[in-house]
Structure 1
Amino acid sequence: MSQRVRSAMAFIVLMGFVSLFSDIVYEGARGVAGPFLLELGASAAVVAFTAGFGELVGYVLRLFSGYLADRTKRPWLFTLVGYSFNLFAIPLLAFVWDWRIAMLLMILERTGKAIRKPARDSMVSYAAKQVGPGFGFGIEEALDQIGAVSGPLILSLILSFKSGELLERYHFGFSILWIPASISMILLIVGRFLFPRPIEFEKEPTGRSQQSSRLGFEAVLYLVAVGLLAAGFVDFPLMSYHMAKQELFVSAVVPLLYSVAMGVDAASAIFFGRLYDRLGITALIASTAVGSLAAPLTFLAKGKLWVVLGVSLWGISMGAQESVMKAVIAKIIPPEKRGFAYGLLNSVFGVSWFAGSFAMGLLYQSSLGLMVSLSLLLQLGSVAVMYVLKARAAV
């Protein structure tokens, strides 16, 4: 293993630990955001608006932040500023007694993620090209999911065992999140000084950038595939809603199933990331085909084991999306355009997921069969587009 590869791997692992500790912060908070706002006196409409508007801003703003990161050639600036909002907006909730301020902080957290994500993904992609884009993003996603599982668990334990009034326990839980937020920020600053120009990972020793295809028809075709996949991908909240409505499991089991899905996600990210480095977009085709069975098994099959299998397949698809989808961009988009490309990828995915989820939520009330059919049709349509892309380009 060359020094460049070892250095690239060190950068990926470092950024993976940044993700791990930052996910403890905001994934931990997301699990209790609704009840916390309720305790502060917010209405259901306020809770829904906060979640929906925060996600909308979080996805749409990525298009502009990615473009600016490319134009200014200062990805670390966007990453550091974004993480500052993203990490510390949540612990500040420990001092909040008004739902209006809490709502603004929660939206600020999503805004921070939008500012930093395209620039951050670009920097990781430069290093990932040295170890294999799929494997590199797979490692990062696996570490990320450790945090995603740990955060809600930590908040759950605090709320269960801390004495005092409920609002007091929420405040104590948010104050604990200063610790992982600070660790994540320290690691990020260390990364800034150790790896000031991550784009150098993707340059030849002569200083010339590796050649790569331009942002063109292949990229557009890929975004169509991503949009179809996202639109057909069922949200876990709808799956958990169905489990509760059908009384398939007691309430305490549903969060455990989500944890199982996140564990499968972590393993799947590395497996399909490696598979992508060997087989190309065939890995995403396979994971999408497998993941498309999650909806039929969860919503139509009879029996708890089928539901558990459906949730596991959902986790497989999620893990592959988080690693392979970003790896494809690293392969088909030149370094100097990658921030904008990641911003565009995230915006297309987010808007499509929102539209598809809304449509399937409406169909759930009238016909489970139609809802599942729509999910299958969209995801298999994505598979078809990816086959066309594979035939046109080596991705």
Structure 2
Amino acid sequence: MYVTLRDRPGDTGPDRPRAALRRVSGTVVLLGTVSLLTDVSSEMVASVLPLYLTAVVGLSPVAYGFLDGVYQGVSALVRIAGGYAGDRGRRPKWVAAAGYGVSALSRLAMLPAAGFAAVTAVVTADRLGKGLRTAPRDALIAAASRPEALGRAFGVHRTLDTVGAAAGPLVAFALLATVPGSYDSVFVVSFAFAVAGLAVLVLLVPDLPTASGAVRAGLRRVVAQVAGVRLRRPLLAAALLGLVTIGDGFLYLTLQDRDDFAARWFPLLYVGTNVAYLVLAVPLGRLADRVGRGRVFVAGHLALLGGYLVAALPRGGVGLTVVVLLLLGTFYAATDGVLAALVSRLVPADSRGTGIAAAQTTVVLARFAASVLFGLVWQLYGPRPALVLFAVLLAGVVPVAVRLLRGADHPATPASTGAPA
């Protein structure tokens, strides 16, 4: 229902704009398939990593907070470089392929890794690969989509991505249920899925060029946008919200600490979140296209606030755990692709990848700081007081973000971006 094989967003015709709102391109679906397979791989590892690091490797909350911060934030080191490289060469597919390849190899590197330093190095390599590929991939999605349907296009991609994210923990759960404690089998099967995703990208995804133009001039325009009001205000809002957004692993460890369920059930927490994301990604993407991406982005953080408060309750149970997972999935569905869609309309087409990367870099750096701070507060006061503190901070940041995002949904114009008319 969403697929059309006409990948050129410039195609014209009397019915073209209306048809574009009902469909997304085949390139978006193929890129979603790549992300689906890759997320089976990455979420297999991510769903066991918190327990593996705290129970097997023996990390303290502060050490885990640092490593979770690395997992959340180190990709920022290369996100802008990846976006710029894709824009400069006008072939973002191959920049993305390099990033997917690095992440695939990191799965095998987990096998001999033992100890904090080795695991940190492997996680860093994986996240650098993610940082390199994300902006070029999102630039391909934007290049293959009509501007009026960007929210839907990113929503469809994130839906396919989340199918993999939901399946990955299930595969990990099945492996650990069959052979308890067999983390090596999780890493090997994860590598196989990563290679399959890379193969789809290299062999099937069209090598669509991004918009032509002087890339250095485009980069200068992005820098000018960041310095100016149009992009600076959304980036500041994303940064402030990111500073009070903790990683999933900490939230799940808090739930396990409260409810004391068996370790083998831990990967299923990721499934619950990803199923909620899967169901809501397209509807919230469409809603963002209609009512404003900034509004939906902020609403997603209100769902996160609800998740913090429910997880911080002294008593839990299955029902409250499911509520937390649903709220967390709603948060991701309302923010992940929506932020990329928002920013892609605020920068010139020939530097779209760089602009998206700037927003993603802002978010992951802020979340790096949040993970380290949350780990420290957990170490000093415990998980629930840490969650209450972050809930209070998030409640204070949301009104500021609302003010900063007013008017952010208006598209860039030649006058505002410096792009040629």
Structures share fold, TM-score greater than 0.5: yes
Spell out the pairing of 1:211-290 with structure 2 (5 A cutoff).
Answer: 215=225, 216-247=228-259, 249=261, 251=263, 253-280=265-292, 281-290=294-303
Q: Which residue of 2 aligns with 1:328?
A: 342
Q: Which residue of 2 aligns with 1:206?
A: none
Among 282, 292, 296, which residue is 2:305 paired with?
A: 292
Letter in 1 for 2:157: E
Spell out the pairing of 1:60-209 with structure 2 (5 A cutoff).
Answer: 60-91=77-108, 93=110, 96=112, 104-130=121-147, 132-162=149-179, 169-192=182-205, 194-199=206-211
State the alpha-carbon separation in 2 of the partners of residues 296 and 123 from structure 1.
Answer: 38
State the alpha-carbon separation in 1 of the partners of residues 269 and 407 from structure 2.
Answer: 38
- Where structure 1 has 5 or more consecutive residues not aligned to the other structure, the ranges are 201-208
Q: Does 1:351 align with 2:368?
A: no
Distance 1:379 1:12, change over 3 A: farther
Distance 1:385 1:251, change over 3 A: same
Q: Does 1:14 align with 2:47?
A: no
Distance 1:146 1:301, change over 3 A: same
State the alpha-carbon separation in 1 of the partners of residues 377 and 189 from structure 2.
Answer: 41
Letter in 1 for 2:177: S
Q: Contact (CA 8 Å) 2:342, 2:408: kept in 1 or not?
A: no
State the alpha-carbon separation in 1 of the partners of residues 392 and 282 from structure 2.
Answer: 25
Letter in 1 for 2:370: G
Q: Contact (CA 8 Å) 2:173, 2:265: kept in 1 or not?
A: no
Distance 1:37 1:272, change over 3 A: closer
Q: TM-score, normalised by structure 1?
A: 0.81
State the alpha-carbon separation in 1 of the partners of residues 86 and 5 from structure 2.
Answer: 29
Among 293, 307, 331, which residue is 1:317 paired with?
A: 331
Q: Contact (CA 8 Å) 1:272, 1:323: kept in 2 or not?
A: no
Letter in 1 for 2:187: F
Deviation at 1:248, TM superposition (A): 6.2
Deviation at 1:226, TM superposition (A): 0.8
Select the structure that is richer in helix. Answer: 1
Deviation at 1:21, TM superposition (A): 0.4
The more displaced of 56-65 and 115-124 is 56-65
Deviation at 1:124, TM superposition (A): 1.3
The more displaced of 50-59 and 289-298 is 50-59
CA RMSD of aligned residues (A): 3.6
Deviation at 1:377, TM superposition (A): 3.7
Q: TM-score, normalised by structure 2?
A: 0.77
Among 322, 338, 363, which residue is 2:352 paired with?
A: 338
Deviation at 1:312, TM superposition (A): 1.5
Q: Deviations over 1:183-205 (max 9, x none)?
A: 2122101344x3432548xxxxx
Deviation at 1:51, TM superposition (A): 5.1
State the alpha-carbon separation in 1 of the partners of residues 58 and 179 from structure 2.
Answer: 26
Q: Contact (CA 8 Å) 1:123, 1:199: kept in 2 or not?
A: no
- Where structure 2 has 5 or more consecutive residues not aligned to the other structure, the ranges are 10-19, 213-217, 412-421
Q: Which residue of 2 aligns with 1:366?
A: 381
State the alpha-carbon separation in 2 of the partners of residues 273 and 358 from structure 1.
Answer: 31
The more displaced of 326-335 and 170-179 is 170-179
Q: Deviations over 1:316-358 (max 9, x none)?
A: 0112111211110122122222222222212211121122333
Deviation at 1:58, TM superposition (A): 1.6
State the alpha-carbon separation in 2 of the partners of residues 34 and 381 from structure 1.
Answer: 28
Letter in 2 for 1:14: L
Letter in 1 for 2:306: L
Distance 1:338 1:298, change over 3 A: same
Letter in 2 for 1:44: L
Deviation at 1:137, TM superposition (A): 0.8
Deviation at 1:85, TM superposition (A): 0.7
Distance 1:179 1:374, change over 3 A: closer
